[in-house]
Amino acid sequence: MPQIGSGSQRVGGTLFHWGANGVRLGRQEGQGMGTLEHANNQELLSALAGKPAAEVLMEQYGGLTPLAQASFHELQQVKGVGKSKAAAIKSAFLLAQRLASESLPEAPLLDTPEAVANLLRERNRLYTVEHLQVVFLNTRKRLIGVADLAQGTLDTLLVDARQVFLAAIARRSAAIALVHNHPSGDPTPSEADIKVTRDLIRAGQVLRIEVVDHVILGRRTDERPCDYVSLRQLGFFAL
Comparing 4 with 32, the larger pLDDT belongs to: 32
Whether the pTM exceeds 0.85: the reply is: no
pLDDT of residue 159: 81
Chain segment 25-42, per-residue pLDDT in tens: 444 444 455 567 788 888
Chain segment 112-137, per-residue pLDDT in tens: 999 999 999 999 988 889 999 999 99
pLDDT of residue 130: 93
Tell me how far the alpha carbon of residue 87 is from its chain's centroid: 30
Chain segment 145-182, per-residue pLDDT in tens: 999 988 876 556 678 899 999 999 999 999 999 999 99
Which has the closest alpha carbon to 170: 201, 131, 209, 203? 209
d(CA 66, CA 60): 9
pLDDT of residue 238: 82
How confident is residue 21, by pLDDT bands cut at 50, 70 and 90? very low
- Domains of the chain, CATH where assigned: 8-101 (1.10.150.20), 113-230 (3.40.140.10)
d(CA 119, CA 99): 29
